[in-house]
Chain A
Amino acid sequence: MADIVTVGIADLKTVKAPDTLATYALGSCVGVCLYDKEKKIAGLAHIMLPWSSEAVQNIENKRRYADTGIAELIDLMVSQGASAAGMTAKIAGGAKMFSVGSSVFNIGERNIDAVKKVLAGYGIRITAEETGLNFGRTVFFHGDTGIMEVRSAMRETKMV
């Protein structure tokens, strides 16, 4: 029997096949799904902000940030037997929920940008992306197949 493991905001978790990871209602946050196909180990981080270096204070939760969050997720997966070199990534979220110009509201875009830079730094290839635009997304990341299932309120579910 496969379980569904929920990842909260600014949190990260891993599962092995046949379990599934889920994170609900990503807005400007980005869901980063990492998968080791050989070992069938899946990881999901719910990233809230781009860079830990920009934190004013309150950086005790390193999982919030793209750089420190992804680093921790990779370490966790490696400690469970995954190989960093064999990982691929799928990402979702980073929407702009309110349509105005100021930088606060482009946080989604900045999150996507930071996530991509961090993944590139580790040499991890992004094989699917459901990002940007202006709507919320719920992500299920299936540990047995590495398929990312993206649901939104008014749109068809995507399996990528």
Chain B
Amino acid sequence: MSIQSIEQLNETHIDVLREIGNIGSGNAASALAELLQCPTRINVPSVRALDFENAVNYLGGPENIAVGLLVNISGDISGMMLYIFQEDFASRMTERLFGSRIKNLMDMSEMESSLISEVGNIMGASYINAIASLAGMRIDVSVPMLTADMVGAILSVPAVEFAKVGDKVLFIDDSFIIDDSEIKSNMILVPEMRSLDTLFGRLGVSV
């Protein structure tokens, strides 16, 4: 048997993905601490299968303006990862490093957008490295592509990909504690279904 859509994932599969997320987030927290030069912790991420409308609503509704960072994954598994950073998350990063909040997400300075891209880069690499080392795989990630726009419009990009294989997407909530206050970010993972088979196969989880 093989996995044809996200809907077919059972509790065990989700648990495995959560554990990967946990390790990945741990790596991300250390990397962020180094970048931001302040203590950074992370709570256990939640991993859920959500449909498009729910994912969009969870992210503040279709017209909410947020930053999207898209990373392509290739190698032993392939797919795409999309990070959504809300204005508060992005501003907390720039505040910490540059001393000022972002005035307009859709009109970021070059310094602001490269910082946000770097944060996305760090987080993406952390997750992917967790998967790669747990499953003994070679996985490459692309340089993140950044856009700031309506959440609904940003999500249409992975939506087109997951529409081919199902109605749901893997939705990961991260909650970081930076300098004693909590900030959240979200990640959407759109694996090719073949890749999920490969991943669970390597980890010895039956599909």
Are B145 and A27 neighbours in the complex by a CB distance under 8 Å?
Answer: no
Dominant SS among interface residues on chain A: loop
Known: A25-B156, A97-B68, A98-B145. 12 other contacts (CB 8 A): A25-B63, A25-B151, A57-B4, A57-B164, A64-B163, A97-B147, A97-B153, A98-B70, A105-B157, A107-B157, A138-B63, A153-B106
B37–chain A nearest beta-carbon distance, Å: 30
Q: Find B165's partner among A56, A100, A153, A154 (CB 8 Å cutoff).
A: A56
Q: Find A137's partner among B68, B153, B159 (CB 8 Å cutoff).
A: B153
Contact mask for chain B residues 77-100; partner A; CB cutoff 8 A; 1 contact, 0 none = 000000000000000000000000
A99 to B157, CA, bound (A): 12
Q: Which residues of B contact A152 (CB under 8 A)?
A: 150
Q: Which residues of B contact A154 (CB under 8 A)?
A: 106-107
Q: Is A95 an interface residue (CB 8 A)?
A: yes
Q: Which residues of A contact B56 (CB under 8 A)?
A: 25
| Identity of the chain A residue whose Cβ is nearest the Cβ of B80 in the assembled complex | A104
Are A25 and B152 neighbours in the complex by a CB distance under 8 Å?
Answer: yes
Q: Is B76 an interface residue (CB 8 A)?
A: no
A64 to B5, CA, bound (A): 17
Most A-side CB within 10 Å, residue of B65, B151, B152, B164 = B152
| Identity of the chain A residue whose Cβ is nearest the Cβ of B70 in the assembled complex | A98
Most A-side CB within 10 Å, residue of B5, B61, B70, B161 = B70
Q: Find A58's partner among B5, B70, B153, B156 (CB 8 Å cutoff).
A: B5
Are A9 and B157 neighbours in the complex by a CB distance under 8 Å?
Answer: no
Q: Which residues of A contact B70 (CB under 8 A)?
A: 98
A135 to B149, CA, bound (A): 7
